[in-house]
Structure 1
Amino acid sequence: METYNNIVLERLPRHLKRYVVAQRYERYTALDQALWRYVMRQNYSFLKDVAYYPYIPGLKKAGLSIAKIPDLQQMNDSLKLIGWGAVTVDGFIPPAAFMEFQAHRVLVIAADIRQLEHIEYTPAPDIIHESSGHAPIIGEPDYASYLQYFGEIGTKALSSGKDFELYEAIRHLSILKENPTTTQAELSAAEEYLQIVQDNMGAPSEMALLSRLHWWTVEYGLIGNLKDPKIYGAGLLSSIGESASCMREDVPKLPYDLKAIDYAYDITKPQPQLFVTPDFEHLKLVLDQFADTMAFSVGGKQSLDKAVDCRAICTAVYSSGLQVSGIFKEANADVNLSYLQTEGGTALAFGGKQLEGHGIDYHSEGFGSPIGQLRGADHNLEDFDEATFLDYGIVLGKECVLRFDSGIIVEGIVQRVLRQFDKIVLISFTSCEVYRNNREEIYFKPEWGTYDMAVGSEIVSVFAGAADKDAFEPIEEQLDQTLTPLPNEKEDVKLIGIHALIRELREQEFDQILWFDSFDRLSDECIDHWLALVELYEIAWANKEHGLAIKAESKLLKIVSLYPTVKKLVGDGIRVAKEESLNNH
Structure 2
Amino acid sequence: MGNADSPPPGAAPDWTIPQDWASYTAQDHALWDHMFARQAAMLPTRVVPAFMEGLNVLRMSKPGIPDFDELNERLSQATGWQVVAVPGLVPDEIFFEHLANRRFVAGRFIRTPAQLDYLQEPDIFHDVFGHVPLLAHPVFADYMQAYGEGGLRAARLGMIEALARLYWYTVEFGLIRDGGDLKLYGAGIVSSYSESLFALDDPSPHRIGFDLERVMRSRYRIDDYQQNYFVIDSFDELLKQTRDADLGPIYERVRGRQPIDVGTLLPTDIVIHAGTQGRARSMAH
Displacement of 1:290 after TM fit? 6.1
| CA deviation string 1:360-408 (max 9, x = no partner) | xxxxxxxxxxxxxxxxxxxxxxxxxxxxxxxxxxxxxxxxxxxxxxxxx
Aligned mate of 2:218, from 263, 267, 272:
263
Q: Does 2:213 align with 1:216? A: no
* Per-residue deviation, 1:225: 5.9
What value does the CA root-mean-square deviation take over the aligned residues?
2.7
Alignment of 1:312-391 (within 5 A): none
Deviations 1:13-36 (CA, angstroms, capped at 9, x unpaired): xx9853110111122112211211
1:293 is aligned to 249
Deviations 1:80-133 (A, max 9, x none): 102111110001101221122111111111111111111112211210011111
Q: Is contact 2:48–2:178 with CA below 8 Å preserved after alignment?
A: no
Name the residue aligned to 1:40: 36
Paired residue for 1:278?
A: 233
Contact 2:60 2:66 in 1 (8 A): yes
Find the partner of 1:121 among 99, 102, 118.
118
Partner of 1:230: 183
Provide closer, same or farther for how the CA distance between residues 254 and 271 of structure 1 changes in structure 2, counting only shifts above 3 A.
Answer: same
- Give me the whole-angstrom Cα distance separating, in 2, the residues matched to 1:64 and 1:16: 27
How far is the alpha carbon of 1:285 from its aligned partner? 3.8
The one of 102, 107, 115 equivalent to 1:105 is 102
* 1:154 match: 151
Does the aligned pair in 2 maintain the 1:121–1:240 contact within 8 Å? no
Give the 3 Å change call, closer, same or farther, for CA 215–16 of structure 1 in structure 2: farther
The letter for the 2-side match of 1:289 is: A
Contact kept, 8 Å, 2:142 with 2:239, in 1: the verdict is no
Q: Would you say the 8 A contact 1:51–1:237 is kept in 2?
A: yes
Q: Is the 8 A contact 1:226 1:254 kept in 2?
A: no
Q: What's the offset of the Cα at 1:274?
A: 0.4
CA-CA distance at 1:284 after TM superposition: 2.7
Partner residue in 2 for 1:31: 27
One-letter code aligned to 2:154: A
Q: Which residue of the partner structure matches residue 71 of structure 2?
A: 75
Aligned-pair distance for 1:237?
A: 1.4
Tell me the SS of whatever aligns to 1:263.
coil
In 2, the alpha carbon distance for the partners of 1:249 and 1:256 equals: 19
Q: Would you say the 8 A contact 1:226–1:276 is kept in 2?
A: no
Structure 2: distance between partners of 1:210 and 1:77: 30
Q: CA deviation at 1:267?
A: 2.2
Question: Does the Cα contact within 8 Å between 2:14 and 2:94 map onto a contact in 1?
Answer: no
CA distance in 2, matches of 1:139, 1:23: 21
Q: Distance in 1 between matches of 2:215 and 2:246?
A: 11
CA drift of 1:64 comes to 2.2
C-alpha distance in 1 between matches for 2:120 and 2:81: 26
Query: Which consecutive unaligned segments of at least 5 residues does structure 1 have?
Result: 1-14, 161-204, 299-585
Q: Cα 1:238–1:66, aligned 2, differ >3 Å: closer, same or farther? A: farther
Q: Tell me, what secondary structure is at the counterpart of 1:260?
A: helix
Name which of 185, 208, 214 aligns with 1:254: 208
Cα shift readout 1:25-83 (whole Å, capped 9, x = no counterpart): 12211221121111111111111111103545412423522521010111111111021
Q: Is the 8 A contact 2:50 2:137 kept in 1?
A: no
Change (3 A) 1:269 1:73: same
Whether the aligned pair in 2 keeps the contact of 1:76 and 1:86 (CA below 8 Å) is: yes
Looking at structure 1, the residues matched to 136 and 193 of structure 2 have their Cα atoms a distance apart, in angstroms, of: 22
Q: Amino acid of the residue matched to residue 243 of structure 1?
A: S
SS of the residue aligned with 2:245? Answer: helix
CA contact (8 A) 1:137 1:143 kept: yes
Distance 1:117 1:67, change over 3 A: same
Q: Greater Rg, structure 1 or structure 2?
A: 1
The one-letter amino acid paired with 2:239 is K
Structure with the higher fraction of residues in strand conformation: 1
CA distance in structure 2 between the partners assigned to 1:144 and 1:281 by the alignment: 11
Deviation per residue, 1:399-423 (Å, 9 max, x gap): xxxxxxxxxxxxxxxxxxxxxxxxx
* Cα distance between partner residues in 1 of 2:133 and 2:235: 16
Aligned partners of 1:18, 1:148: CA distance in 2, in Å?
17
Corresponding residue number in structure 1 for 2:7: none
Is the 8 Å Cα contact of residues 183 and 200 (structure 2) preserved in structure 1?
no
Cα-to-partner distance string for 1:167-203 (whole Å, 9 max, x where unaligned)? xxxxxxxxxxxxxxxxxxxxxxxxxxxxxxxxxxxxx
TM-score (normalizing by structure 2): 0.77
Q: Residue 19 of structure 2 aligns to a residue in which SS?
A: coil
Q: Distance in 1 between matches of 2:101 and 2:239?
A: 17
Q: Give the distance between the partners of 1:268 and 1:289, measured in 2 at CA.
A: 31
In structure 1, what is the equivalent of residue 128 of structure 2? 131
Partner of 1:144: 141
Taking the aligned partners of 1:53 and 1:139, their CA distance within structure 2 comes to: 12
Aligned in 2, Cα 1:226/1:76: closer, same or farther, shift over 3 Å? closer
1:507 is matched with which residue?
A: none
Task: State whether residues 37 and 66 of structure 1, in contact with CA within 8 Å, keep that contact through their aligned partners in structure 2.
Answer: no
Give the deviation of 1:262 after TM superposition: 2.2
- Aligned partner of 1:441 in structure 2 is none
1:63/1:77 contact within 8 Å kept: no
